[in-house]
Amino acid sequence: MLIKNNRISIDDIIDECKNFYFAGQETTSSLLGWTIFLLATNKEWQEKARKEVAESFGQKVPNADGLSSLKIMNMILDESLRLYPPVPFIKRKVELTLPPKMLIYISPLAVQHDHKIWGEHVHVFKPDRFAEGVVKATNNNPVAFLPFGYGPQTCLGLNFAMIEAKISLSMILQRYMFTTSPTYVH
Ligand code: HEM
């Protein structure tokens, strides 16, 4: 972003709006799409999530207090973000010892599928690996879970995206049960 005279130009603001639109829409819809698929193929977790939603909201519209107590749903969303990170690459530009301006790509997809960190069931949907938080799930290596990136450039929409996903998923679970087609092959 070019800041002249301590002012952000109209073009910069338009760029930021486009960024929010792009960075904010496809990512959360990818998270919801994969989560619905994972719950369709793991019915016991679909039922656990529905029970938690029913206990928190009944048939009412989800509210802020209830959303923060959705522990099972948080575990499910984290496991979905681990298996199918909506942003598979993060990039950084080298400024120091490596050749300047070189772009480094870090792959959440690769790190989150590393059996040395996540164990032999790395490819299996196991939300309970997140039951005691990310530090425990990563064997004391929290940078191994980076669906929203890491450090000063961490995703600006992290909290917004998780709240949006929890509201949407709660309202879907309140209304629908879902399954894959009998002919579906993964
Ligand atoms: C599941 C949903 C989302 C995922 C997985 C996601 C993931 C990411 C990732 C991996 C980055 C790069 C972070 C880094 O380089 O370390 C990023 C950056 C960013 N995201 Fe998201 N994002 C999501 C939703 C959103 C939403 C809803 C918004 C805004 C409404 C948003 C706005 C941004 C912005 C502005 C940046 C750039 C931050 C910067 O460079 O300082 N994201 N996101």
* Residue 185 lies inside a defined structural domain of this protein: no
Sign of the Cα torsion 96, 99, 101, 102 reads negative
Task: Give the pLDDT score at 25.
Answer: 86
Using CA atoms, how far apart are residues 145 and 137, in angstroms rounded to an integer?
A: 9
Any atom of ligand 1 within 6 Å of the Cβ of 142: no
Residue 135's pLDDT is 94
Residue 175's pLDDT is what?
Answer: 96
For the Cβ of 36 lying below 6 angstroms from any atom of ligand 1, the answer is: no
CATH of the domain at 96: 1.10.630.10
83 in a domain, yes or no? yes
Q: What was the ipTM of the complex prediction?
A: 0.94
* CB environment 71-98: b (16+ within 10 A), e (fewer): ebbbbbbbbbbbbbbbbeebeeeeeeee
Summarize pLDDT for 169-184 with one digit per residue, the tens.
999 999 999 999 989 8
For residue 24, the CA-to-ligand 1 centroid distance in Å is: 7
171 lines ligand 1 (CB under 6 A): no
- Whether 25 maps to a domain, the answer reads yes
Instruction: Extract the residue ranges of the chain whose pLDDT is less than 50.
Output: none
**Domain span at residue 36?**
9-175
Tell me how far apart the alpha carbons of residues 112 and 127 are, in angstroms, rounded to a whole number. Answer: 14
Nearest Cα to Cα of residue 90 among 33, 142, 151, 31: 151
Locate the ligand 1 atom nearest the alpha carbon of residue 25 and give its number. 27
| Interval between CA 91 and ligand 1 midpoint (Å) | 12
- The finding on whether 162 has its CB within 6 A of some atom of ligand 1 is no
Residue 186 lies in a domain: no
Residue 181 inside a domain? The answer is no
Structurally, the chain folds into a number of domains equal to 1
Specify if 60 maps to a domain: yes
pLDDT attached to residue 3 = 57
In a domain, residue 162? The reply is: yes
Give the SS3 label for residue 4: strand
Give the DSSP letter string of 8-66: E-HHHHHHHHHHHHHHHHHHHHHHHHHHHHHHHH-HHHHHHHHHHHHHHHTTSPP-HHH
In sequence order, which residues have a C-beta less than 8 Å from that of residue 16 and are 6 or more positions away?
1
